[in-house]
Amino acid sequence: MYGKFQSYLSEELDKIAQAGLYKKERCICSEQGAEITLADGSKALNFCANNYLGLANSPRLLEAAKRTMDSRGYGMSSVRFICGTQDVHLELEKAVSEYFHTEDTILYAACFDANGGVFEPLFTAEDAIISDSLNHASIIDGVRLCKAVRYRYANADMEDLERCLQQAQAQRFRIIVTDGVFSMDGNVAPLDKICDLAEKYDALVMVDESHSAGVVGATGHGVAELFDCYGRVDIHTGTLGKAFGGAVGGFTTGRKEIIDMLRQRSRPYLFSNSLPPMIAGAAVELFKMLSEDNSLHDALVQNVEYFRTKMLDAGFDIKPTQSAICAVMLYDAPLSQRFAAAMAEEGIFVTGFYYPVVPAGQARIRVQLSAAHSREQLDKAIAAFVKVGKNLGVLK
């Protein structure tokens, strides 16, 4: 029976490869970190992980994970509401609420699930969801699962958002949904202006903090801190898989009744397993660690500043950013691929993106900085950028 379907799949896969969009995976044979070791024993500097605070191999988090595994076991074999809730899950929910200054928090296996399970329990066909055009795939999928009327506004464009809000007065409730930091340009959503418009047009506000939490704001607490919007955001979603340790796990945090309704009705929460105790235990330790001092966030901010300044001085065209994502603009798609390949040969891993991941004619190299990068490693990456830039005619 498989034969016809197999040839269909092979043809589709060939098309993906011919379009240059076939994704290959690099096999890392070390911990995740600023420097990684590959299967052939070679080493590379890693500038393409979301390991913003450098915690993916933190001894303190590893120790907390082991300790919790010893005291609370390996797995829960249950969803939360049947018999999958431990003290450590409740502690983690409390820690997330404290971090974001919110009333309550619900955990998920991933932020993909948090976003997938947030709209359908809260909104019906009578309501409106107004979504930024560059929002993450998981928000797009979550919106698809909900019957609410959809509006889409151009990325961070407040005039376009206002137009959507005016049209959406036809619906019962409205919610504006945005990523905190957009992962391709590294730009920050103008949350203060979004909240102003939400108040003017009677709408709720949701922000996905996946790339912003731990990164933006004076002490890294995300876009609500950056724009002083505490109390004005109704829902934050986020991941434990980026700055917050890099393992796995997601959360939705916000108003008490919203979280309560999600616990009753959110399908990825009701029908999917609890976070493993070791992840919850390590994450509790993580929030404790972040509350003690701001050194990791300070190191990240200094690294971003240093890298950006040196790259601009070298003559590269870099999108303005308030995040740890640095888009080095090349505009030309094949060039972006040659550039990334040449960087890999220099032992520097960065990602080349082009259409359809970014708009046509906007190809770029994305660099993700981490608190774990040393000055020496940053200098090595910058030197490689300059060398490759000259070789490929990007720099004079």
Ligand X SMILES: *Cc1c(COP(=O)(O)O)cnc(C)c1O
Task: Provide the binding-site residues for ligand X, judged by CB under 6 A.
Answer: 110-112, 115, 136, 138, 179, 183, 208, 210-211, 239, 241, 250
Considering beta carbons, is residue 122 or 206 the nearer one to ligand X? 206
Residues 380, 384, 387, 393, CA torsion sign: negative
CA distance 202 to 358: 32
State in angstroms the smallest separation of the CB of 296 from ligand X.
19
Task: Kindly list the distances between the CA atom of residue 329 and the CA atoms of 21, 154, 317, 320, 350, in Å, as whole numbers in the listed order.
Answer: 19, 21, 5, 11, 13
State in angstroms the smallest separation of the CB of 111 from ligand X.
3
Angle at 350 between CA 319 and CA 321, to 5 degrees: 20
Catalytically annotated residues: 183, 211, 242
CA distance 366 to 352: 6
State in angstroms the smallest separation of the CB of 387 from ligand X.
31
State in angstroms the smallest separation of the CB of 314 from ligand X.
28
Considering beta carbons, is residue 116 or 389 the nearer one to ligand X? 116
**Closest-CA residue to 100 (of 247, 202, 216):** 216
Query: For residue 143, what are its two tokens?
Result: 């919106």
Task: Kindly list the distances between the CA atom of residue 126 and the CA atoms of 164, 168, 198, 206, 264, in Å, as whole numbers in the listed order.
Answer: 16, 10, 18, 18, 21
Helix, strand, or coil (residue 365): strand
CA 371 to chain centre: 16
State in angstroms the smallest separation of the CB of 138 from ligand X.
5
The count of other CB atoms within 10 Å of the CB of residue 16 is 12
Considering beta carbons, is residue 50 or 58 the nearer one to ligand X? 50
Considering beta carbons, is residue 110 or 175 the nearer one to ligand X? 110
Helix, strand, or coil (residue 89): helix
Considering beta carbons, is residue 96 or 110 the nearer one to ligand X? 110
